[in-house]
């Protein structure tokens, strides 16, 4: 796991403080990085944006994981695989005769 320096923490804290000055779309440049094509709440240097994206990715990847298990028929019930895309492999490896 990445460890962060005091300088990195202070940069993040200062970015939060800069972002706090632009809570609404006020028509001015981003108060964090100075760009004129976005506001502080959507800035890639805003630690809150990074935290939100990370949480969304974790939640969605967990959902995707569960969906893939369901679709692949991984879940077992009464000794049989379930799921709409369950795979029944041929016994002898011959794909022309899947029984
Ligand atoms: Zn910015």
Q: Could you read off the pLDDT tens digit of each residue along the chain, which spans 99 residues? A: 899 999 999 999 999 999 999 999 999 999 999 999 999 999 999 999 999 999 999 999 999 988 887 777 765 656 666 666 666 667 776 655 444
Centroid of ligand 1 to alpha carbon of 64 (angstroms): 31
| pLDDT for the residue numbered 67 | 84
Per the structure, how many domains does the chain have?
1
| pLDDT for the residue numbered 99 | 45
Contact 41, 19 (CB under 8 A): yes
Centroid of ligand 1 to alpha carbon of 98 (angstroms): 57
Contact 29, 35 (CB under 8 A): yes
Centroid of ligand 1 to alpha carbon of 33 (angstroms): 4
Centroid of ligand 1 to alpha carbon of 75 (angstroms): 45
Torsion sign (Cα): 67, 69, 73, 77: negative
Would 26 be classed as within a structural domain? yes
Centroid of ligand 1 to alpha carbon of 28 (angstroms): 11
Question: Taking the CB of residue 40, how many other CB atoms lie within 10 A of it?
Answer: 27
Range of the domain at 25: 6-81
Would 64 be classed as within a structural domain? yes
Would 70 be classed as within a structural domain? yes
Centroid of ligand 1 to alpha carbon of 67 (angstroms): 36
| pLDDT for the residue numbered 27 | 94
């Amino acid at each position: 796991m990445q460890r962060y320096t005091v300088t990195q923490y202070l940069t993040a804290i200062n970015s939060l403080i800069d972002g706090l000055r632009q809570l609404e779309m006020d028509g001015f440049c981003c108060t964090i990085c100075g760009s004129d094509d976005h506001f502080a709440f959507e800035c890639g240097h805003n630690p809150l944006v990074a935290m939100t994206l990370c949480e969304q990715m974790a939640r969605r990847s967990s959902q995707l994981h569960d969906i893939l298990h369901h679709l692949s028929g991984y879940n077992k019930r009464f000794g049989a695989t379930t799921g709409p895309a369950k795979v029944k492999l041929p016994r002898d490896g011959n794909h022309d005769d899947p029984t």
